[in-house]
């Protein structure tokens, strides 16, 4: 019996000599896995054009109806996207989103994918409506470049300066949040801010019910 | 008044000398208990490959202060059907019993100040060990009264378990200490340490030392003998219905108790303030004493985070069927050896 007791004590003593494996979040951050389903990213083509063609398939595929797309005709002289239409407004209610990735699967042009950003808590509902400006990447393949840089893994919305190695994703996100706060807009569409303007009735089923 | 007392004489028995010693001791024990909680959390964290408290102050060193402030400001929720007097006596007694025992423990050998002998214990009594055994037994009342007065089934079950456990191990502990008393020929702790100049009693009394340490773990309700608390079964045991600083007193009592039983173990088996090797005596005896005490406190924490809790019947088996007979055997053998050596010398 004594031998087993000593063995146990020796093991715990050895553990004490090892380096703790705790990660000091939020000062230290572990990069998100490659296929992490965090907040969405809207991508661009290599020539800078937006991939989104405003088809609303993501909105239709969304099981919780958290995506709002407002399409518009492209101006042939200055097209925003290669298709006929593009998205004037593209908003995702992050409080409703269940991060299932169906929108990314439904997208015919791979315009929307799930991103690495996961620190999404906030004090204000308005700030949790991600607008097109929030979601759209700053330049082509920006999000991809960020993924390869482990420290910048979450900074999906930064410009060239923030792409420098060593940038903390948290700093980038905080800056970004401050930006959204300044431009805080009143809820614009049904379901914005998590509040339904008209409670659904039986006769009138709620917006975008998945059949 | 104190100033005039200074003018007269410096002696060991003046009331203000004793008062100063007592105040220093209580402050020391309170600080030790506070940082005991910090040390416990750090040790636990490192054993589990965590970091432990590191947010309040440098390396989390102000964590005990933050915890204390939190406990003081917390609401004292008390059950309606409680016994009002005993409900308050419980936690007070828990801390008091732990501190009281320390009065007879010498932190150092006799110092000579102004030609007077100054003892490093508060009460220099010739039956010091007896006094300590008597006072530490009071800790049972703290637990039992607390559990009883709260009028809650979990508290009562915890208190019942606890009193059974403490009473059983009290015997084994007392027997384990007797071996050292026989060797030293005195119950005064200073004499017992002075008898260890040639060899610490852990060398002469290895079984006694092991029995005492095991019993001490049970007496302080530390893991693996923390059945009175048994948070998985009893929601905290005897202190289930205590909150705020009343709970804090039980908590402080537990940590002071750890220091106290470690000090007793050091005094009786690890040579008290004596250095490991004679040439190391340039280091003050107090430091030797405290170093050994906190070493033992660390061992208690180490054990807590290594072993799982004992089942209740095994706890009783260990107490009555293993430790008590071994303790008795130890007394008989030690007594026989001492008697034979006295007869032949």
Q: Do A12 and B47 touch (CB under 8 A)?
A: yes
DSSP symbol at B15: H
pLDDT for the residue A150: 46
pLDDT for the residue A181: 52
Q: What are phi and psi of B118, to 5 degrees?
A: -110, 120
Average pLDDT score, chain A: 74
CA distance to partner chain A, nearest, from residue B303 (Å): 7
Write down the pTM of the prediction.
0.76
End-to-end CA distance of chain B: 54
Distance CA A27, CA A169 (A): 10
A102 has pLDDT over 90: yes
CA–CA distance from B267 to each of A43, B184, B192, B205, B213 (Å)? 74, 12, 7, 13, 12
Q: Which residues from B are below 8 Å from A19, CB to CB?
A: 49
Overall average pLDDT of the B217-241 stretch: 76
Chain B interface includes A5 (CB < 8 A): yes
Q: Which residues from B are below 8 Å from A21, CB to CB?
A: 49-50
**pLDDT band at residue A61 using 50, 70 and 90 as cut-offs:** very high
Q: Do B51 and A9 touch (CB under 8 A)?
A: no
Q: Which residues pair with A113 in a beta bridge?
A: A41
Q: Do B45 and A20 touch (CB under 8 A)?
A: yes
Check: complex ipTM more than 0.85: no
Domains identified in chain A and CATH numbers: 34-189 (3.30.70.3270)
Q: Do B302 and A9 touch (CB under 8 A)?
A: yes
CA–CA distance from B113 to each of B11, B194, B285, B287 (Å)? 8, 20, 16, 19
Q: Do B49 and A18 touch (CB under 8 A)?
A: yes
**Nearest neighbour of B47 by CB, restricted to A5, A16, A21:** A16
Q: What would the pLDDT profile of B294-313 be if each residue is shown by its tens digit?
A: 999 999 999 988 888 888 88
Q: Do B303 and A20 touch (CB under 8 A)?
A: no
More confident residue, B165 or B294: B294
Q: Which residues from A are below 8 Å from B306, CB to CB?
A: 8-9, 11-12
pLDDT for the residue A47: 82
Question: CA-nearest residue of chain A to B44?
Answer: A16
CA–CA distance from B309 to each of B168, B223, B231, B254 (Å)? 17, 6, 11, 17
Q: Do A20 and B305 touch (CB under 8 A)?
A: no
Q: Which residues from A are below 8 Å from B43, CB to CB?
A: 16
Q: Which residues from A are below 8 Å from B310, CB to CB?
A: none
**pLDDT band at residue B198 using 50, 70 and 90 as cut-offs:** confident
Q: Which residues from B are below 8 Å from A24, CB to CB?
A: 51
The two tokens of residue B342 are: 């006295």
Is the CB of residue A108 less than 8 Å from the CB of residue A57? Answer: yes
**pLDDT band at residue A104 using 50, 70 and 90 as cut-offs:** very high
pLDDT for the residue B253: 87
Chain A interface includes B333 (CB < 8 A): no
**pLDDT band at residue B166 using 50, 70 and 90 as cut-offs:** confident
A31: nearest Cα among A121, A116, A158: A116
Is the CB of residue B205 less than 8 Å from the CB of residue B330? Answer: yes
Chain B interface includes A7 (CB < 8 A): no
B258: nearest Cα among B68, B39, B20: B39
Q: What would the pLDDT profile of B129-152 be if each residue is shown by its tens digit?
A: 888 888 888 888 888 888 888 888
Q: Do A9 and B306 touch (CB under 8 A)?
A: yes
Q: Which residues from B are below 8 Å from A8, CB to CB?
A: 306-307
Overall average pLDDT of the B108-120 stretch: 75
B18: nearest Cα among B114, B119, B130, B117: B119
**pLDDT band at residue A176 using 50, 70 and 90 as cut-offs:** low
A41 has pLDDT over 70: yes
Q: Do B303 and A9 touch (CB under 8 A)?
A: yes
Average pLDDT score, chain B: 84
CA–CA distance from B8 to each of B5, B12, B22, B239 (Å)? 5, 13, 21, 49
Q: What would the pLDDT profile of B46-61 be if each residue is shown by its tens digit?
A: 999 998 888 888 888 8
Overall average pLDDT of the B264-273 stretch: 88
Q: Which residues from B are below 8 Å from A25, CB to CB?
A: none
**pLDDT band at residue A144 using 50, 70 and 90 as cut-offs:** low
Is the CB of residue A180 less than 8 Å from the CB of residue A94? Answer: no
**Biggest CA pair distance of chain A:** 86
CA distance to partner chain A, nearest, from residue B50 (Å): 5
Q: Which residues from B are below 8 Å from A22, CB to CB?
A: 49-51
Chain A interface includes B217 (CB < 8 A): no
Q: Which residues from B are below 8 Å from A9, CB to CB?
A: 302-303, 306
Angle between helix B128-149 and B84-101 (nearest 10)? 160
Chain A interface includes B302 (CB < 8 A): yes
Chain B interface includes A209 (CB < 8 A): no
pLDDT for the residue B10: 45
CA distance to partner chain A, nearest, from residue B335 (Å): 27
Q: Do B47 and A5 touch (CB under 8 A)?
A: no
A196 has pLDDT over 80: no
Chain B interface includes A13 (CB < 8 A): yes
């Amino acid at each position: 019996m004594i031998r087993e007791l000593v063995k146990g004590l020796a093991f715990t003593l050895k553990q004490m000599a090892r380096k703790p494996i705790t990660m000091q979040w939020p000062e230290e951050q572990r990069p998100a896995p490659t296929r992490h389903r965090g907040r969405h990213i809207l991508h661009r083509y290599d020539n800078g054009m937006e991939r989104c063609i405003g088809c609303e398939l993501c909105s239709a595929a969304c099981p919780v109806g958290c995506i709002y797309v407002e399409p518009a005709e492209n101006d042939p002289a200055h097209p925003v996207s290669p298709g006929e239409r593009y998205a004037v407004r593209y908003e995702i209610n992050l409080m409703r989103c269940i991060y299932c990735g169906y929108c990314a699967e439904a997208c015919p042009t791979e315009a929307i994918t799930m991103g690495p950003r996961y620190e999404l808590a906030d004090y204000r509902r308005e700030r949790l409506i991600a607008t097109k400006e929030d979601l759209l990447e700053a330049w082509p393949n920006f999000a991809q470049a960020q993924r390869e840089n482990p420290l910048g893994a979450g900074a999906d919305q930064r410009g060239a300066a923030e792409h420098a190695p060593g940038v903390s994703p948290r700093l980038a996100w905080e800056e970004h949040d401050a930006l959204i706060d300044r431009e805080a807009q009143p809820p614009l569409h049904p379901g914005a801010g998590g509040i339904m303007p008209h409670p659904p009735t039986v006769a009138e089923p709620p917006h975008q019910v998945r059949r | 008044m104190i100033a005039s007392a200074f003018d007269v004489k410096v002696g060991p028995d003046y009331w203000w000398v004793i008062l100063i010693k007592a105040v220093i001791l209580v402050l020391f024990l309170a600080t030790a208990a506070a940082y005991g909680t910090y040390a416990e959390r750090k040790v636990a964290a490192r054993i589990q490959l965590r970091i432990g408290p590191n947010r309040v102050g440098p390396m989390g060193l102000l964590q005990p202060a933050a915890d204390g402030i939190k406990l003081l400001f917390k609401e004292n929720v008390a059950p309606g059907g409680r016994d009002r007097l005993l409900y308050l006596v419980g936690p007070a007694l828990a801390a008091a019993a732990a501190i009281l025992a320390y009065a007879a423990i010498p932190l150092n050998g006799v110092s000579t100040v102004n030609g007077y002998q100054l003892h490093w214990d508060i009460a220099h009594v010739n039956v010091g060990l007896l006094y300590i055994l008597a006072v530490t037994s009071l800790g049972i009342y703290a637990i039992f009264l607390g559990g009883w007065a709260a009028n809650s089934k979990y508290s009562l079950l915890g208190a019942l378990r606890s009193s059974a456990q403490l009473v059983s191990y009290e015997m084994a502990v007392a027997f384990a200490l007797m071996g050292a008393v026989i060797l030293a020929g005195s119950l005064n702790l200073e004499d017992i340490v002075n008898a260890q100049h040639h060899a610490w009693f852990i060398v002469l009394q290895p079984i006694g030392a092991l029995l005492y340490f095991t019993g001490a773990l049970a007496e302080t309700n530390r893991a693996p003998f923390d059945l009175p608390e048994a948070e998985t079964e009893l929601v905290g045991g005897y202190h289930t219905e205590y909150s705020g600083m009343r709970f804090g007193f039980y908590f402080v009592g537990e940590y002071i108790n750890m220091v106290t039983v470690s000090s007793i173990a050091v005094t009786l088996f690890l040579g008290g303030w004596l250095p490991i090797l004679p040439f190391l005596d340039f280091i003050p005896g107090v430091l030797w004493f405290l170093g050994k005490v906190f070493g033992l406190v660390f061992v208690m924490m180490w054990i807590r985070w290594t072993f799982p809790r004992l089942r209740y019947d095994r706890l009783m088996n260990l107490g009555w069927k293993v430790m008590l007979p071994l303790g008795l055997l130890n007394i008989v053998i030690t007594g026989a050896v001492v008697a034979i050596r006295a007869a032949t010398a």
